[in-house]
């Protein structure tokens, strides 16, 4: 009994920093922000309680509706693109090729590199007249290559592509970790039963990888809603809000326009959407994830 008490005390001491940190830097700000969302507050003025007005304003303004659409497009491109590419790369790398350590490193480098630095390199690559990409396209015979970051139709996909390029190596590593837990004898057994490479992929790899795939899906979903650095360095949300997603819009409202209450309401809507999508994913988890 003496020992049990000691363990409980040790556990409490061990958890103390986490409890304090979670309380001060997560729980209190989360509640505070919710309260702020019911106020009209322009930082330098007095805060005025306005009830649901901020929320009502968000759902009726055409600007914020554009931003919602941008966010949805961005998330779809990002999540689908990252998952598909990461799966292909992980499966190819898992074949025990001699140089797979080199390729694994090469693919992971964008993830571990300095975000703003590499986003600026991409901005330079995408540059309309002097950029290496458009000059390459012209050399390949493309007549009028797009202006990329300066073109409202291309700015958002370009930001999404750079984000996928940056993160896919991380998802690939997570999937590789999942692949390595699959018992090799299962493949041998499948082969003995006459299963070809595609059948082995579909009947052994995919079912046993669903846990990792689900994990990657959730992380990618969360990350897709929070893009900031790449947008800031590539387009600053432009041209004319064409690449502004929700997270970036919250930043602009709070710290550029100083509409704190409005920004807080926006951030809460973002949070609810994300929570809803996560719940939906968990609900459908049973249908396709094998335990």
Partner 1 sequence: MNNFNLARYSRKNGTLFLLYSVLAVYSLVTLAPFMWMLITSFKEPSDVFKIPPSFVPSMLFSDTPFANYATVWTERSFVSFFLNSTWVAFMASIGQVFTTSLAGYAFARLELPGKNVLFAIVLATAFVPTEVTIMPEFLMMRWIGWIDTFASLIVPSFLVGAFGTFMLREYFASLPSDYADAAYVDGASPFQIFYKVYLPLAQPALVSVFVIAFINNWNELLRPLLFLNSPEKFTVPLGLMSFVNQYEASWTLLMAGSVISTVPLILIYMLTQRYILQGFVGGGVKG
**CB of residue 242 to partner 1, shortest distance in Å:** 19
Instruction: List binders of partner 1 among 104-163 (CB under 8 A).
Output: 104-118, 120-122, 124-125, 129-132, 135, 138-139
**CB of residue 153 to partner 1, shortest distance in Å:** 23
Q: What mask, x for binding partner 1 by CB under 8 A, covers residues 9 to 48?
A: -xxxxxx-xxxxxx-xxxxxxx-xx--x------------
**Distance in angstroms (rounded) separating the CA atoms of residues 117 and 226:** 19
**CB of residue 97 to partner 1, shortest distance in Å:** 6
Q: What mask, x for binding partner 1 by CB under 8 A, covers residues 174 to 193?
A: x-xx--xx------------
Instruction: List binders of partner 1 among 44-83 (CB under 8 A).
Output: none
**CB of residue 205 to partner 1, shortest distance in Å:** 15
**Distance in angstroms (rounded) separating the CA atoms of residues 96 and 171:** 19
Among the candidate windows 3-11, 66-74, 152-160, 185-193, which touches partner 1 by CB under 8 A?
A: 3-11
Q: Is the Cβ of residue 146 or residue 169 nearer to partner 1 in the bound state?
A: 169
Instruction: List binders of partner 1 among 206-265 (CB under 8 A).
Output: 222, 225-226, 228-229, 232-233, 246-247, 250-251, 254-255, 260, 263-264
DSSP string, 83-144: HHHHHHHHHHHTT--TTHHHHHHHHHHHHHS-HHHHHHHHHHHH-TTT-HHHHHHHHTT-SS
E strand or H helix at 40, and its extent?
Answer: strand 39-40
**Distance in angstroms (rounded) separating the CA atoms of residues 258 and 232:** 18
**CB of residue 18 to partner 1, shortest distance in Å:** 4
Are 55 and 261 in contact by the 8 Å Cβ rule? The answer is no
Residue 175's contacts (CB-CB under 8 Å, 6 or more residues apart) are 86, 87, 90, 209, 212, 213, 216
Cis check for the bond before 241: say yes or no (omega within 30 of 0).
no
Among the candidate windows 6-14, 55-63, 185-193, 281-289, which touches partner 1 by CB under 8 A?
A: 6-14
Q: Is the Cβ of residue 151 or residue 229 nearer to partner 1 in the bound state?
A: 229
How many residues interact with partner 1 (rule CB under 8 A)? 94
Are 133 and 125 in contact by the 8 Å Cβ rule? The answer is yes
Tokens of residue 117, six digits: 């630095």
Q: Is the Cβ of residue 131 or residue 146 nearer to partner 1 in the bound state?
A: 131
Instruction: List binders of partner 1 among 271-290 (CB under 8 A).
Output: 271, 274-275, 278
Half-sphere CA count of 69, side-chain side, radius 13 A:
8
């Amino acid at each position: 009994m003496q020992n049990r008490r000691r363990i409980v005390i040790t556990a409490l001491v061990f958890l103390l920093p986490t409890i304090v940190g979670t309380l001060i830097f997560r729980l209190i700000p989360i509640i505070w922000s919710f309260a702020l969302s019911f106020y009209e507050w322009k930082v330098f003025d007095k805060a005025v309680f306005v009830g649901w007005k901020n929320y009502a304003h968000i759902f009726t303004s055409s600007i914020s509706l554009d931003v919602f659409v941008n966010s949805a497009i961005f998330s779809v491109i990002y999540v689908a693109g990252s998952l598909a590419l990461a799966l292909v790369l992980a499966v190819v790398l898992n074949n025990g090729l001699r140089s797979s350590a080199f390729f694994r490193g090469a693919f992971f480098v964008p993830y571990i590199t300095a975000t703003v630095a590499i986003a600026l390199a991409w901005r330079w690559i995408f540059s309309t007249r002097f950029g290496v990409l458009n000059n390459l396209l012209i050399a390949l015979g493309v007549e009028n290559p797009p202006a990329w970051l300066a073109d409202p139709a291309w700015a958002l996909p370009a930001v999404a592509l750079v984000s996928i390029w940056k993160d896919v190596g991380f998802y690939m590593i997570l999937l590789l970790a999942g692949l390595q837990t699959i018992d090799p004898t299962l493949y041998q057994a499948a082969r003995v039963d006459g299963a070809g490479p595609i059948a082995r992929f579909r009947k052994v790899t995919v079912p046993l990888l669903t846990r990792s795939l689900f994990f990657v899906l959730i992380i990618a979903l969360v990350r897709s809603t929070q893009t900031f650095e790449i947008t800031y360095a590539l387009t600053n949300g432009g041209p004319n809000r064409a690449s502004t997603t929700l997270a970036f819009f919250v930043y602009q409202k709070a710290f550029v326009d100083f509409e704190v209450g409005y920004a807080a309401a926006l951030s809460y809507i973002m949070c609810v959407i994300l929570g809803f999508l996560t719940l939906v994913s968990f609900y459908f988890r049973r249908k396709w994830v094998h335990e």
